[in-house]
Structure 1
Amino acid sequence: MSDNSALELAKRLIACPSITPATGIVFDEMEAMLQPLGFEVSRFIAGDRPEDEGLGGAVENLFAIRRGPEGARHFAFAGHLDVVPPGEGWGSDPFVPKVKGDLLHGRGAVDMKGSIAAFVSTLHSLPSDLGTISLIITGDEEGPARFGTVALMDLMAERGITPDLCLVGEPTSVNQLGDMMKIGRRGSVNMWITVNGTQGHVAYPHLADNPITKLGTILSEIDALQLDEGTDWFQPSNIEFTDLSVGNPAHNVIPAKAEGRLSIRFNDQHSGDSLSGLVREIVERNGGELNPIISGEPFLTPPGELSGLIGEAITEVTGVEPELSTTGGTSDARFLSKIVPVVEFGLCNATMHKLDEAVAVDDLDQLAKIYALVVKRALS
């Protein structure tokens, strides 16, 4: 294969350790791939992630653009070069890309250096005057995502740049390449509940105020909520309790404080603020305090031009009819959807974030062909 194949480019990116938040060498490699193709490359550090989040440090971002003729359409590809920590127990070094049989192994092979490599590979076959093409690449997707795509969008706004269509290369396929694309995602809000009481001896409850009882009432009321029954494109919103903490080492002491945490993944019938208000009323009515953090709002790109282009290209290359879905967790598409129609499509997600993460070499080649068709037809 040529040095510009999706496989070879993926190897180059995987060989750059880029545990979130990513900076430095992996962006050097990305810039080296794009500049010879006529892209203007901008790199910047947006901020430092707080150390108390466990993954502190600087975040690097890259925006690259190759402008087409005046008035030409603008197609954007978005992705991230940061990866999750590899963990212990790999069969080989996670940052030394290795082809074993039909698979390329390495951290980021699927999520999502492989799809970035596939897209860059297509650029070698696309005419430079086809239209405007940009890449929106962050080093802060796997973490809090505070200094990544949002900062890139600010940069684009400052320069008056707005794409017409945007493809995010997240690994969306399930059992085979092309069987699923994402046209939306649910929103996410995490909530911390604190109930303060009065410490005392269990034999003298009238001299104390037990916060556990109040917290139990709060959680019971929240658990009884039925938020919705789903929509045509979204599954029902769900509430999951994720932590309970009292920290009381003594069996004969009523504690002074009890805490709980819950997470709500919600569809487009709600907003983070509306759900926070709903839960806050229950919490405060029962003597507690609520601290919600909204990770993202739901979005939907209704079936249309972009999903049609991607679906047609998938079927032409693979023979597969893709399912249009809104399942799964959040992605940076939740930010980009505010300024441009966005659809997510990429590799099979079976090994993402796992030991010995791997992608089929043939899938990389097919993905590059799909991306090439999508871009050509979007800009024609």
Structure 2
Amino acid sequence: MSRTLQLAEQLISRPSVTPDDADCQALLMARLAPLGFACETIVSGPEHFRVTNLWAKFEGFSAQAPAVPTHSAIEPIANKTPAKTLVFAGHTDVVPTGPLEQWHSHPFTPSHRGGQLYGRGTADMKSSLAAMVVAVEEFLAAHPQPTLSIAFLITSDEEGPALDGTVVVCEQLQARGEVLDYCIVGEPTSVEQLGDMVKNGRRGTLGGKLTVKGVQGHIAYPHLAKNPIHLFAPALAELVATRWDEGNEFFPATSWQVSNVHGGAGATNVIPGELVVDFNFRFSTESTPESLQQRLLAILSRHQLEYDLKWTLGGLPFLTTPGTLVNAVRGAIRAETGLETALSTTGGTSDGRFIAKICPQVIEFGPINASIHKINEHVAVASLDPLKNIYKGVLERLAAV
């Protein structure tokens, strides 16, 4: 059994459903501390929802810059260039299992069938965590004094509300003046083959709960009532037809979607007094939350609706354009798999949105995502060591910059 597979199975066997870390991070610390990582546990959240976070850092050795001559007989002064930092980020929490009877094997008992490793969290994202740790172990064994600092930022609140996880750690790191240069989030990004896609950004998410007000009444006397469903229908048609932006070379056009509509008193002969509409923008860097809010409010105003509206900004978009990190990841994938990886910003949100606020280059890369959050979640056993090799290849390329 490879060391990557062994560690992946140890993590998968722990039932770490959000926000319970189930000692996964203790297992990671037991591997990282002997390598010279300074490990810190940051606990956050109310008593009923305690979140465990791990910040672990190995300080790289400063590169020797060219000597700076002086105007005296004293020897030239040698400058030290601070080592840049690569962060491996991820989460130990997993989504609930769903009906146990539908699993072909227990979700927290790692099982092998047909070359696949089954269990909750295999793809999202305990295999990535295992590959990252073993990659660092092998890298430091070969380069015990690298000119690169390495860190791990791990949370148990990524699959949940994400209020006390990575966002809290990032706020503390920023307050300390911690400088991060590169970050790889181990989200499952591959589609058909390991390495065929990485995420170099994500769209922003802006949600709203709109309550359109009417007047409840008997359905046989509509002139005595005011039907909010009828009132909102023309505005809905305009909102659906609106082209919010055209996107750009990295992002698709901004999307507006209704996720839930509720109105009615539960009887067929009653005109409802209000209509509640939940909606969400997934927006590109071509739009801002403020511009989207203003345009939507203008449409509601144009249709003379009486309403209440509550907004929720789930995250801003972020983008890492091709450069040092993207090139290192692409090179490592090419060397291991022969693939020319595609860059993408599609999909949902991730903790990359928090890290991007304090780190200029953030990408996401991990195993095939076809089975994530599903019954019988799995990952190909044969992909685990190649995943580890790619992470190690990124370390080697960044250390050589």
Class of the TM-score when normalised by the shorter of the 2 chains: over 0.9
For 1:336, the equivalent position in structure 2 comes to: 355
Write the mapping of 1:308-319 to structure 2, written as runs, cut at 5 A. Answer: 308-319=327-338
For 2:89, the equivalent position in structure 1 comes to: 78
Q: Secondary structure at the match of 1:126?
A: helix
For 2:370, the equivalent position in structure 1 comes to: 350
For 2:203, the equivalent position in structure 1 comes to: 186
Q: Is the Cα–Cα contact under 8 Å of residues 75 and 379 in structure 1 kept in the other structure?
A: no
Q: Which amino acid aligns with 2:283?
A: F
Write the mapping of 1:76-225 to structure 2, written as runs, cut at 5 A. Answer: 76-88=87-99, 89-127=102-140, 128-130=144-146, 131-225=148-242
The alpha-carbon deviation at position 58 of structure 1 amounts to 1.4
Q: Secondary structure at the match of 2:130?
A: helix
The partner residue of 1:59 within 51, 56, 76 is 51
- TM-score, structure 1 normalization: 0.94
For 1:53, the equivalent position in structure 2 comes to: none
Write the mapping of 1:266-281 to structure 2, written as runs, cut at 5 A. Answer: 266-281=283-298
Q: Is the Cα–Cα contact under 8 Å of residues 10 and 114 in structure 1 kept in the other structure?
A: yes
Question: Structure 1 vs Structure 2: percent identity of aligned residues?
Answer: 44
The runs of at least 4 consecutive aligned structure 1 residues that moved more than 6 Å come to none
- Deviations along 1:289-330, whole A, 9 cap, x unmatched? 211211111111111111111101101011111001111111
Q: Which amino acid aligns with 2:358?
A: I
For 2:20, the equivalent position in structure 1 comes to: 22
Query: Separation in 2 of the partners of 1:280 and 1:266?
Result: 17
Q: Is the Cα–Cα contact under 8 Å of residues 217 and 286 in structure 1 kept in the other structure?
A: no
Q: Secondary structure at the match of 1:125?
A: helix
Q: Is the Cα–Cα contact under 8 Å of residues 245 and 287 in structure 2 kept in the other structure?
A: no
Q: Secondary structure at the match of 1:124?
A: helix
The alpha-carbon deviation at position 143 of structure 1 amounts to 1.5
Q: Is the Cα–Cα contact under 8 Å of residues 193 and 259 in structure 1 kept in the other structure?
A: yes
Q: Is the Cα–Cα contact under 8 Å of residues 191 and 290 in structure 1 kept in the other structure?
A: yes
The alpha-carbon deviation at position 332 of structure 1 amounts to 0.9
Q: Is the Cα–Cα contact under 8 Å of residues 15 and 22 in structure 2 kept in the other structure?
A: no
Query: Separation in 2 of the partners of 1:15 and 1:280?
Result: 49
The alpha-carbon deviation at position 282 of structure 1 amounts to 2.5
For 2:75, the equivalent position in structure 1 comes to: none
Q: Is the Cα–Cα contact under 8 Å of residues 110 and 171 in structure 1 kept in the other structure?
A: yes
Query: Separation in 2 of the partners of 1:156 and 1:22?
Result: 23
Q: Which amino acid aligns with 2:139?
A: L
Query: Separation in 2 of the partners of 1:124 and 1:251?
Result: 66
Query: Separation in 2 of the partners of 1:73 and 1:278?
Result: 42
The alpha-carbon deviation at position 280 of structure 1 amounts to 2.4
For 1:252, the equivalent position in structure 2 comes to: 269
Gaps of 5+ in 2: 63-81
Query: Separation in 2 of the partners of 1:174 and 1:342?
Result: 20
- Deviations along 1:351-379, whole A, 9 cap, x unmatched? 11111111111211001111111012212
Q: Is the Cα–Cα contact under 8 Å of residues 28 and 133 in structure 2 kept in the other structure?
A: no
Query: Separation in 2 of the partners of 1:6 and 1:247?
Result: 55
The partner residue of 2:341 within 277, 300, 322 is 322
Q: Secondary structure at the match of 2:178?
A: coil
Query: Separation in 1 of the partners of 2:396 and 2:154?
Result: 21
Q: Is 1:236 the equivalent of 2:253?
A: yes
Q: Secondary structure at the match of 1:163?
A: coil
The alpha-carbon deviation at position 251 of structure 1 amounts to 2.1
The alpha-carbon deviation at position 24 of structure 1 amounts to 4.1
Query: Separation in 1 of the partners of 2:340 and 2:238?
Result: 43
Q: Is the Cα–Cα contact under 8 Å of residues 106 and 356 in structure 1 kept in the other structure?
A: yes
Q: Secondary structure at the match of 2:29?
A: helix
The partner residue of 2:307 within 284, 288, 297 is 288
Q: Secondary structure at the match of 1:110?
A: helix
Q: Is 1:8 the equivalent of 2:28?
A: no
The partner residue of 1:39 within 34, 37, 40 is 37
Q: Secondary structure at the match of 1:111?
A: helix
Query: Separation in 1 of the partners of 2:174 and 2:249?
Result: 33
Query: Separation in 2 of the partners of 1:91 and 1:176?
Result: 24
The alpha-carbon deviation at position 185 of structure 1 amounts to 0.9
Query: Separation in 1 of the partners of 2:208 and 2:272?
Result: 22
Q: Which amino acid aligns with 1:76?
A: V
The alpha-carbon deviation at position 250 of structure 1 amounts to 2.0
Question: What count of residue pairs does the alignment treat as equivalent?
Answer: 372
The alpha-carbon deviation at position 136 of structure 1 amounts to 0.6
**Root-mean-square deviation (CA), in Å?**
1.6
